[in-house]
Structure 1
Amino acid sequence: MSLIEPPMAIITSLLICLPFLLLPLFLLLQKRKNVYKNPLQKTFPPSPPKLPLIGNLHQFGTPPHQSLHQLSIKYGPVMLLHLGRVPTLVISSAEAAKDALKTNDLHCCSRPSSAGARRLTYNYLDMAFSPYGDYWREIRKICVLELFSVKRVQSYRSIREEEVDEMVNSISASSSSGAPVNLTEKLSALTASIIFRIAYGTSFQGSKFEHAKNIDELIQDTEAMLGGMSGADYFPSWMGWVIDRVSGVHKEFDRISKELDGFFQQVIDDHLKPGRRVDDEQAHEDIVDVLLKIVKEQGEFGASHLGHNNIKAVLLNLFLGGIDTGSITMVWAMAELAKNPKLMKKAQEEIRKTIGNKGKITETDTDQLQYLKMVIKETLRLHPPAPMLLPRETISHCKIQGYDIEPKTIVYINEWAIARDPEVWRDPEKFIPERFDGSSVDYKGQHFEFLPFGAGRRVCPGMYMGTTTVELGLANLLYRFDWKLPDGMKEEDLDMEEASGSLSLTVAKRTPLNLVPVKFSQN
């Protein structure tokens, strides 16, 4: 079961409750000051016409990044919407994104309050959804230095290589039958296994954690809870309370947060069992070990008042950012290469010529695979796993592209639209890895036409960990196998549509990717 798809659930519930809510709501709105109501002294961004009560909520189609892109074509790359009572800025150009994420980064670096995020992060004890302030700076510093540093990521190299080998061997064992392999399933299991071992110190396959049995469903529900819309987020609290109970959102929030909390608590309890010790000769500590050590020795790390809920909140970020985004990127890359066999052959020739007859690829080998890196960049451009960057919230007045933006405005960066802007990218709808040949454009947050990991203070600190896994996984798949479409399928028949849905954090390929592996012989 997943959350009811907004905004229709909110609108439907609102219509049911309307007779009971209309009069007190009218009186409340009469008193409420709309900071975007009087433009006499200021220049506000253009806005589509809005409806009473719901504002522009009804204009959020599915998938949202595409419907907002269509609106931006008519109203411009800096567009003001009103989602219920909440002013919301949608940015759809590289220039405007630079204004928001660089020029006005300090003004736009907080996070909006949301019912789902508040519940799942134990009142914003995590790094990704925490509002800007002293606590965010403290927890981000701990995560950057202790969890996502190059040294820490490289310490997990053996885990990534072992898990990739296991996936490749599994595909190899079934390749003799000539049957298609569900790569979506294989790659999701790969990233889950890597994160489980790195973060929780246990294998995903056959995991002893009871809450990990339906991990894909739990991820989808958690993302829906974080990215979806609840009445509490867009209407007065008393009104949102009624809407969320009529629509079933409140009940779903209870179920998902309890499942996730139970999983994280079980992980922590397992690490605290008497007699469990990280051996001095062990290759690495897992991330829970590191976080428990920080909680125990808080003064040494400059932290204060950290406890198990802080650990759970950080584990949430790893749970979502580490498992889903990497597998989604690898699936899209393999789908694009299967649809463009000449490009797949080019990538394979580079890999096989560089690696020779070593039999498998290690992480040190991937530095030499320049065309593979172009393939990954082009995949992130055309299919960013998070097409709408996590929303920000302005903390003070600023100007973006000449428009006045008031405090407490939610800011969405439509990365999907920016990466397909024909004024910036040649043939933006086509998959052309060569566009990055000799180009300085990278995904590290300095080029605002290409922002799969964001930019500024809120740039994703886990990009090195994520891209390392993607490079290793793709390189081995292309090195060890030739790939064919199932019998009777042509390249043009391959479904390249996105899964539709609400403001989910990530967007995957709509249908599973099934390809036929053929073992490649070095002889």
Structure 2
Amino acid sequence: MWSTSTMWYSWPTSTSCSPPSSPSPPNITDYFPILKVLDPQGMKRKAELSLGKLLAKFRDFLNHRLDHRRNNPNNKKQDLLEAIIDITQANDYNITTQDIPYLLLELIVGGIDSNSNMVEWIMTELLFNPDKLERLKREIKSAVGENGKIQEADIASLPYLQAVIKETFRYHPPGPLAVTRMSEADQEVNGYMIPKGTQIVVNTWSMAKDPSIWTDPESFEPERFLDNKLDFKGQHFQLIPFGAGRRICPGIPLATRILQMTTAVLVHNFDWKLQKDKDHPDHKEAMFRINLSKATPLRAFPFKI
């Protein structure tokens, strides 16, 4: 009976990244699915309550916008919500206005933490590795000029920026434990039998620190991604921060553009100074949650060049 509810994963063991001092308790039904119907910790009930409040807020936004469109047909707003409503009313896709709150939930809630956390990790590594920061600053300056404005089209000519993004995805994967999967059939992997129906958690954090996969994995080295085609789009399994296969994260293009442009603007338009070193006892220390966030927030001052 228990063989079909086995969790297969390994927890990170490196001392450079530790769980929070007061972590939230794990949901034991993730490990023993037979208990899901009982919800012994009340997590499902609490989640449904919080989710209901959030969906109600999104429905309020939607209803307010629909009222505005009816009362002001010639004064449409130019934003994401307006574009989604236009799609539903065009009937080109199988989506209705009732689906919009759930779509907004996925788009907004699913992307806010991961993108902001990744920008913080990128800037942390650059500020604690000033030689990498200076190299990136020189590359951007050579591409757009001293006072040039960075455009999305410039990203293709910034290979070191792309390498910095990839190395941060490797060293600080946004989801340390990838979204749970389930095996569809009995499968043997490296001598281990994984029975059909087993819940599988892929530990992307441990993969990033594995010396059999990466040379000097505990060092932040964007140069490892220069002059090779290794990418994070699901084709190279040693680097899968967004997952792989048919269930790969659909937000890859948006997340990539946000991180590339945000990093380029922050590096090109400002110089940075870290706050007191005592505020950064271990700048690599992280808290393991759904998203990998810094245990101590980055404290740095920007000043105009």
* TM-score (ref. length: structure 1): 0.51
- In the alignment, structure 1 residue 445 sits paired with structure 2 residue 243: no
1:513 alignment partner, SS class? coil
How far apart are residue 250 of structure 1 and its match? Answer: 5.1
Q: Match for 1:489: what amino acid?
A: D
Change (3 A) 1:232 1:467: closer
How far apart are residue 239 of structure 1 and its match? Answer: 6.8
1:258 aligned to 37, 40, 52, which one?
52
How far apart are residue 417 of structure 1 and its match? Answer: 1.0
2:8 aligned to 85, 89, 92, which one?
89
Change (3 A) 1:405 1:363: same
Change (3 A) 1:481 1:294: closer
Deviates more, 1:417-426 or 1:489-498: 489-498
1:240 aligned to 38, 43, 49, which one?
38
CA deviation map 1:387-420 (0-9, x unaligned): 1111111233333334432222111111111121
Change (3 A) 1:393 1:239: closer
The separation in 1 between residues aligned to 2:270 and 2:164, in whole angstroms, is 17
Q: Which residue of 2 aligns with 1:58?
A: none
- In the alignment, structure 1 residue 410 sits paired with structure 2 residue 203: no
Equivalent pair of 1:232/1:240 in contact (CA under 8 Å): no
Choose 1 or 2 for highest CA Rg.
1
The separation in 1 between residues aligned to 2:139 and 2:127, in whole angstroms, is 17
Equivalent pair of 1:232/1:244 in contact (CA under 8 Å): no
- In the alignment, structure 1 residue 328 sits paired with structure 2 residue 124: no
Q: Which residue of 1 aligns with 2:85?
A: 292
Equivalent pair of 1:399/1:405 in contact (CA under 8 Å): yes
- In the alignment, structure 1 residue 489 sits paired with structure 2 residue 277: yes
Q: Match for 2:146: what amino acid?
A: N
How far apart are residue 496 of structure 1 and its match? Answer: 2.1
Equivalent pair of 1:482/1:518 in contact (CA under 8 Å): yes
The separation in 1 between residues aligned to 2:30 and 2:125, in whole angstroms, is 40
Structure 2 unaligned runs (5+)? Answer: 12-23
How far apart are residue 429 of structure 1 and its match? Answer: 0.6
1:318 aligned to 96, 101, 107, which one?
107
Q: Match for 2:286: what amino acid?
A: E
Q: Match for 1:88: what amino acid?
A: M
The separation in 1 between residues aligned to 2:112 and 2:205, in whole angstroms, is 21
- In the alignment, structure 1 residue 506 sits paired with structure 2 residue 291: yes
Change (3 A) 1:254 1:317: closer
- In the alignment, structure 1 residue 344 sits paired with structure 2 residue 133: yes
Q: Match for 2:38: what amino acid?
A: G
- In the alignment, structure 1 residue 376 sits paired with structure 2 residue 165: yes
What are the residue-to-residue correspondences of 1:8-19 with 2, within 5 Å?
A: none
Q: Which residue of 1 aligns with 2:304?
A: 519
What are the residue-to-residue correspondences of 1:138-287 with 2, within 5 Å?
A: 229=27, 231=29, 234=32, 236=34, 240-241=38-39, 243-245=40-42, 249=43, 252-273=46-67, 274-277=70-73, 286=80
How far apart are residue 470 of structure 1 and its match? Answer: 0.7
Change (3 A) 1:251 1:460: closer
Equivalent pair of 1:233/1:240 in contact (CA under 8 Å): no
Change (3 A) 1:460 1:235: closer
The separation in 1 between residues aligned to 2:258 and 2:30, in whole angstroms, is 38
CA deviation map 1:237-275 (0-9, x unaligned): 58724x234xxx355324312221122112211221122
Equivalent pair of 1:497/1:510 in contact (CA under 8 Å): yes
1:508 alignment partner, SS class? strand
Q: Which residue of 1 aligns with 2:256?
A: 467
The separation in 1 between residues aligned to 2:200 and 2:248, in whole angstroms, is 15
- In the alignment, structure 1 residue 454 sits paired with structure 2 residue 243: yes
CA deviation map 1:452-494 (0-9, x unaligned): 11111011121111110111111111111111122x4279745
Equivalent pair of 1:485/1:515 in contact (CA under 8 Å): yes
Change (3 A) 1:398 1:262: same
1:388 alignment partner, SS class? coil
Equivalent pair of 2:177/2:205 in contact (CA under 8 Å): yes
1:350 alignment partner, SS class? helix
CA deviation map 1:167-212 (0-9, x unaligned): xxxxxxxxxxxxxxxxxxxxxxxxxxxxxxxxxxxxxxxxxxxxxx
The separation in 2 between residues aligned to 1:261 and 1:458, in whole angstroms, is 24
The separation in 2 between residues aligned to 1:88 and 1:513, in whole angstroms, is 34
What are the residue-to-residue correspondences of 1:117-128 with 2, within 5 Å?
A: none
CA deviation map 1:282-336 (0-9, x unaligned): 7x652x34443444454x43x2xx5445322222221233211111111101101
How many pairs does the alignment contain? Answer: 291
2:208 aligned to 419, 426, 450, which one?
419
Equivalent pair of 2:286/2:293 in contact (CA under 8 Å): yes
1:429 aligned to 218, 224, 228, which one?
218
What is the root-mean-square deviation in Å for CA atoms of aligned residues?
A: 2.9
* TM-score (ref. length: structure 2): 0.84
2:132 alignment partner, SS class? helix
Equivalent pair of 1:393/1:409 in contact (CA under 8 Å): yes
Q: Which residue of 1 aligns with 2:149?
A: 360
How far apart are residue 498 of structure 1 and its match? Answer: 0.3
Q: Match for 1:433: what amino acid?
A: P
The separation in 2 between residues aligned to 1:519 and 1:484, in whole angstroms, is 11
Change (3 A) 1:278 1:376: farther
Q: Match for 1:350: what amino acid?
A: E
The separation in 2 between residues aligned to 1:295 and 1:270, in whole angstroms, is 16
The separation in 1 between residues aligned to 2:46 and 2:101, in whole angstroms, is 20
How far apart are residue 369 of structure 1 and its match? Answer: 1.3
